Structures are given as structure tokens and as C-alpha cells.
Amino acid sequence: MARIEEIARALKEAGLDGWLLYDFRLSDPLAYRILGLPEAGLATRRWFYFIAADGEGQALVSAVEAHRLDAIPAATRVVYRSEGQMIAGLGALLKGCRRIAMNYSPQCAIPYVSRVDGGTLELVRSLGVEVVTAADLIQRFEATLTPAQLAGHRRAARHLRDIVDQSFGEIARRLRHHLPCTEFTIQRFVLGRIAAHGLRTDEAPIVAVNANAANPHFSPGEERDTRIQHGDLVLIDLFAKEQPPESIYGDLTWMGCAAATVPDAFARVFTIVAAARDAAVELIRSRVAQGGTISGEEADRAARQVIEAAGYGDNFVHRTGHSIGREVHGTGANLDSLETRDHRNLIERTCFSVEPGIYLPERFGIRSELDMTIEDGSAAISGGPPQQEIIPLLSRYAA
């Protein structure tokens, strides 16, 4: 299996004896993806799969579900019935190993990759093995994308950019003609345009007005809806991907104002947010172009320092960006030095967002989000040029 051989080479490079993958009741979907295993069918018992640095795979499965790992090659397959047999089998699996990787993160610093429970870690360590995080391996073997996936992501981002204009235009049309115009009705409109472009999404887009936009994950509904009126600030955060299961999301946030001109209070804060966004983008671009490395922490700090210098540090309440994959929040490096300390470098053939924001409770919130990819030694923005100013909807979109 070519994937196993490639993993083995990575293990040797990292000075590891192997990578122990483990699952109980679908507790680690990453293990299934990394091994190319189907998640369908009963998965009620524990299994282990060990990839050694010499390229040999070994499986340990329950007699109740002895078939569970049949789809992947294994030099040895040990079937256990009792707990004692499982522990003995695990000891045999790891015999001679000193240092291995598992899908966990010390102190849960990176929750996306922290899938192994504490008790299982205790069990493995009791066998005399040092366990280190597989965070970098996960990014390399689960979060890196094919050229086709990257191309599909870029198509999705371009469609989303079109939908932003269509949605802002719809708000302007409804206001001019005194038609019902609320967060929820525009959210439904955005969903309709996503479907019309042949895209799909697992979650509804965010449409938030004024103080609601100060809640980064606000979502309108029939029971929680706000009318969009003249002069209101409008945030639209939309995310979708093409239909095939392996497709990659696009994720954009744009700001509009339901007026012919944008008030200075809104424009001033947007200028700061855009400068923070651009600081992260330029640092990433320059490092990648020079063949250097850039960690998620560093990219986050580049944006955060701009907002802190402007006096809004406490109002930037989330990380600067997140990995993007088959789910809108992927398992690669996040642009984060706040919520977590993501030490991982942004690497070739990955996708991520850059989306700083300033949130002023009870007043308004502003976020500007774009996506970036790294491919062939170049970091590029997806979906067209980034937003440079809040769009005055009633003057930008004709009647």
C-alpha cells in the first residue's frame, strides 16, 4: 500500500518507531481517513493498527469484529477475545519501540487532532513506550489536498464570491421596493443561491445585522430574526463546496451597509480589520515565496498585532484563521496563537482561511474573511481580490 510506505518514510524522517492508530466506536474519524477505511458498519470494539517505520503494518482486532481492518494490509493480524489478550497483543505490537506517535495533543493544545482518550494513552505508556503527538503527520496525511481538490475549492470560492454580490443585491432590491427583508429571509436566499450554483453546505450561512454581527457564530432563525433596515451593517459569512464527498469547502465573509454611504464608525473599524488580514496574507506569501516556513502561530500574531496596536485587542476574540478541508474546519494548521498554540507550519497543498475580526458588544461586529491555498511553492488567495471597503449596498447595486 503506497500510503503506508509514504507514512513509513515520514516516520523515519521524524525519528519515530511508528504510528499507532486506535479507534473505539468511531471515536477517531481521522484514523479511518488516513487508512482509507470505510466508516460504515458496526464498530463497537477497540482496534489498533500500527505502522512501523520499516513500512510494516500490524493489526489488533476484537474477535467480535475480526474483519474490521481486512481492507488494509497487515504483516500480522492478532485477534483478541479478552482484555488481557488485547493488552498482551498490544505489547507484542509495540515490542522494541521506544517512541511512537498517536492522535493526541499534549494538554489538548490542538483539539482537532486530540482523538485518543487519556486511559488509552495511559495503557500504551504503561508498556514502556513514549507517546508523542501525531499532529504534523495528521496534517501531512489527512489535510493535504490533491490538485483536483484544490481546483474544486477555488471554483467553490469563486461561486461564493458571486453569491455575495447576488445576496447584497437582493438586500438592496428588497429595501428599495419595501419588501420583507430580514436576516432569516436573506439566509434562505443565500442557501438558494448555493444550491443554484451546484454547491452544498452542512450548515446554514451566517447573516447578521449590527449587534448580532458582534457574535462571531450568530445564526438567525424563524424564532430569532431581525429586520434589515436602512443604515444597518450587514455581515454575510457563507461556506459551501461542490457535490462529490471529497470536495473542499470555500469560506468567505463580506461586509455591507444598507445605505448609499458607509458611516465613519463602520468604515474606520473595517480599515483596521482589513489591515490585519493583509498583514497575515503578506507574511504568508513572502515566507512561502522565499521557501521558508511559517507557523499558524506566527501568522495569527501578524494579524493580531495590528488589531492590538489599534486598541481593539480584547475585541478580537477568536483565532485569525482555520484549516479548510472536506469539512469547513479542517485538520491542518490553524492560524492561532490565542485559542490554541498551533505550532504546525502551513504546508504545501493545504487550504486555510484568514479572517480577523473586531466585535463590539451591543454595537456591531466586523470580520473580513478570505481563503488561501499553498500550491507549487506559492500562496494564493481564492475567490478573487479581498474586500477593500464595506460595500454601500444602495449605491453599489442598481435598482
Within the chain, all domains assigned CATH 3.90.230.10 are found at 144-396
pTM for the model stands at 0.94
Three cell numbers written together for 14: 521524524
Q: What is the pLDDT of residue 42?
A: 84
Q: What is the pLDDT of residue 41?
A: 81
For residue 151, which amino acid is it?
A
Domain 144-396 listed as CATH 3.90.230.10: yes
Q: What is the pLDDT of residue 23?
A: 97
Q: Give the H/E segment covering residue 189.
A: helix 183-196
- Report CA torsion sign: 283, 285, 287, 292: positive
pLDDT tens, residue order, the chain (399 aa) = 678 999 999 999 999 999 999 999 999 999 999 999 988 888 999 999 999 999 999 999 999 999 999 999 999 999 999 999 999 999 999 999 999 999 999 999 999 999 999 999 999 999 999 999 999 999 999 999 999 999 999 999 999 999 999 999 999 999 999 999 999 999 999 999 999 999 999 999 999 999 999 999 999 988 889 999 999 999 999 999 999 999 999 999 999 999 999 999 999 999 999 999 999 999 999 999 999 999 999 999 999 999 999 999 999 999 999 999 999 999 999 999 999 999 999 999 999 999 999 999 999 999 999 999 999 999 999 999 999 999 999 999 976
pLDDT digits (tens, 9 = 90+) for 165-223: 999 999 999 999 999 999 999 999 999 999 999 999 999 999 999 999 999 999 998 88
Q: What is the pLDDT of residue 39?
A: 84
**Of 236, 238, 237, 231, which is closest to residue 257 (Cα–Cα)?**
231
pLDDT digits (tens, 9 = 90+) for 361-376: 999 999 999 999 999 9
Question: E strands of the chain, at which residues?
Answer: 18-23, 47-52, 57-62, 76-80, 99-102, 130-133, 199-200, 206-209, 233-242, 250-257, 350-354, 357-360, 364-367, 370-375, 378-382, 391-392
For residues 18 and 1, what is the distance between their CA atoms, to the nearest angstrom? 16
User: What fold characterizes domain 2-142?
Assistant: Creatine Amidinohydrolase; Chain A, domain 1 (3.40.350)
Within the chain, all domains assigned CATH 3.40.350.10 are found at 2-142
